[in-house]
Amino acid sequence: MKFSEVIGQGELKQKLIQSVIDNRISHAQMFLGNEGNGKLAVALAFAQFIMCENKQQDDSCGECSSCKRIQKLIHPDLHFSYPIINVKSGSGKPKCTDFIEPWRNFINESKGYPTYQGWLSSIEADNKQGNIPISECHDIIHKLNMKSYESEFKILIMWLPEFLGKEGNALLKLIEEPPNNTLFLFVAEDADKILNTIVSRTQIVKVPRLNDEDLSVALKDHGVQDDGQMSSIVRLANGNWNKAKALLNKEVAKATFSQWLANSLNNRPDNIFQDMETISHQPKEEQKDFLLYGLSFFRELLLFVSTNSQHQPNCTDNELILMQKLQSKVTVDSLKKVSKLFDQSHYHIERNANSRILFMNLAIQTKLTLL
C-alpha cells in the first residue's frame, strides 16, 4: 500500500521517507504500538516505498511492477512471518508460507489493519493459539540468505514477534549480521512479551495512537456525515481504527436492519431483492454484525411484548417506533422462532454459507414467521 492509504501518522511517515532519502535505513526496526494504530500498514507502505522503482517525493508510485506486486503481497523479495497454528500435515514442520493464501486474503480484507483474533478466526484456529515455530525461523534464515530476485532489497515483515518463543534466538545472528540490503521490519504491540535478545537488536520505532482528527477524516471517507455519530465513534475508539470501524459497522448494521425488516414485512419483493444484493456483497464481518444486531433487536422486542410494554427497551427512538409498530403483530412464540432463524444464519455465515441464498431465505422466513 501507499503511504497515502495509511490513516494519519504524518510525522512518522515523513521520518521514514527521510531515512530512505538520506540512505540511512536501519536494517532491523521494530514498529511498536497499540492495536489499530496502523503499524502494519506503515510497515507495508515503508517496504513499498523502499522497493518502488519510481519513487515520488513523498510516496511510492503505486504503478511500477514492484509496487503492484507488493500491493498483492506477491513480491518475491518481500517475505512475511506471522503467528501460525499447528495443523497436522505430512511434513510436521509448519511454516508461514503454508498459510500465505489466507494471509494475503486477510491483509487484503483488513486493508492493512489486522487483529490477532481476526487472523486466528480466518485460519479457523478454533481454540488453538498462534505461534512462530522453529521451523519458520529456519525458513526465514533460508529465504534471507538467498540472493534477492528482483529488488535491490530483501525485506522480512514479521507481524507479532511476541509469538516467537526461545526458538527465536536462532535468528539473532541473522538480525545482527544480515546479508547485504536485508531489512527486518518487526510489527509488535507489547515489547515486554518479546525476547529481550531480539528487542535489543532492533531500532524501536514508536507508532502512536491515531489522533482524533485523523480518525475523523478516515470516518468521513467511510461515509460518516453526522457530527454526533462522528464524535461518539471517535471518543469510544480511542485512537484505534479497528475499534472505530467496528463501531461504524454496528451503526451501518442498525440502519440496514431497520430497512430490511420494513421491506421484508411490507412484502416489497424488489426492495428485498435489492437489500439481499447489498448485504451479500458486504464483508463477512459486516454480515455477522447485521445478524447480531437483528438478534439483539428481537430480544429487546421479545421483552417488550412479553411484559406488555412494561420493559423499557434499551434502544434508540427510531427502534422504539419500529417496536411499537410490530408489537400488535408479533407473538412471543414467533419472536422466539425468528431469533432462532437469525442465530442459525449467523452460524452458517461463519461457516461460509452462500450469503445471497441465506439472506433471501431469511427475508422470506422472517415474514412467514412474524406475520
What are residue 32's phi and psi, to 5 degrees? Answer: -120, 130
Q: Report the residue number, 61 or 100, with the smaller CB distance to Zn ion.
A: 61
Q: Report the residue number, 56 or 361, with the smaller CB distance to Zn ion.
A: 56
Taking the complex as a whole, the smallest distance from the CB of residue 65 to Zn ion amounts, in Å, to 8
Q: Is 23 helix (H, G, I), strand (E, B) or coil?
A: coil
Q: Which stretch binds Zn ion (CB under 5 A): 31-39, 46-54, 209-217, 304-312?
A: 46-54
What are residue 173's phi and psi, to 5 degrees? Answer: -60, -40
Taking the complex as a whole, the smallest distance from the CB of residue 109 to Zn ion amounts, in Å, to 23
Question: What's the grid cell of residue 67?
Answer: 509496487
Letters for 56-95 (x = contact with Zn ion by CB under 5 A, - = none) are ----xx--x--x----------------------------
Q: Report the residue number, 60 or 216, with the smaller CB distance to Zn ion.
A: 60
Task: Give the angle 30-36-41 at the CA atoms, nearest 5°.
Answer: 55
Candidates 292, 288, 295; CA nearest to 350 is: 288
Distance CA 159, CA 136 (A): 13
Q: Report the residue number, 66 or 263, with the smaller CB distance to Zn ion.
A: 66
Q: Report the residue number, 62 or 133, with the smaller CB distance to Zn ion.
A: 62
Asked if residues 230 and 247 have their Cβ atoms less than 8 Å apart, the reply is no
Taking the complex as a whole, the smallest distance from the CB of residue 64 to Zn ion amounts, in Å, to 3
Q: Report the residue number, 19 or 131, with the smaller CB distance to Zn ion.
A: 19
Asked if residues 210 and 220 have their Cβ atoms less than 8 Å apart, the reply is no
Q: 236-275: which residues touch Zn ion (CB under 5 A)? A: none
Question: What's the grid cell of residue 209?
Answer: 495512537
Q: Report the residue number, 46 or 260, with the smaller CB distance to Zn ion.
A: 46
Taking the complex as a whole, the smallest distance from the CB of residue 60 to Zn ion amounts, in Å, to 5
What are residue 208's phi and psi, to 5 degrees? Answer: -75, 165
Taking the complex as a whole, the smallest distance from the CB of residue 10 to Zn ion amounts, in Å, to 21
Distance CA 156, CA 178 (A): 11
What are residue 319's phi and psi, to 5 degrees? Answer: -65, -40
What are residue 16's phi and psi, to 5 degrees? Answer: -70, -45
Q: 138-177: which residues touch Zn ion (CB under 5 A)? A: none
Residue from 6, 7, 52, 70 in contact with Zn ion (CB under 5 A) = 52
Candidates 155, 208, 146; CA nearest to 186 is: 155
CA distance to 199, 266, 267, 274, 287, per residue, from 270 (Å):
59, 11, 9, 6, 20
Q: Which stretch binds Zn ion (CB under 5 A): 55-63, 138-146, 296-304, 325-333?
A: 55-63
Q: Report the residue number, 185 or 265, with the smaller CB distance to Zn ion.
A: 185
Q: Which stretch binds Zn ion (CB under 5 A): 4-12, 49-57, 69-77, 254-262?
A: 49-57
Q: Which stretch binds Zn ion (CB under 5 A): 50-58, 275-283, 296-304, 343-351?
A: 50-58
Taking the complex as a whole, the smallest distance from the CB of residue 6 to Zn ion amounts, in Å, to 16
Taking the complex as a whole, the smallest distance from the CB of residue 58 to Zn ion amounts, in Å, to 13
The footprint of Zn ion on this chain (CB under 5 A) covers a number of residues equal to 6
User: CB within 8 A of 53, min separation 6: which ones?
Assistant: 61, 64, 65, 66, 67
Distance CA 71, CA 79 (A): 13
**Residues of the shown chain interacting with Zn ion in the complex, contacts defined by CB under 5 A:** 52, 54, 60-61, 64, 67
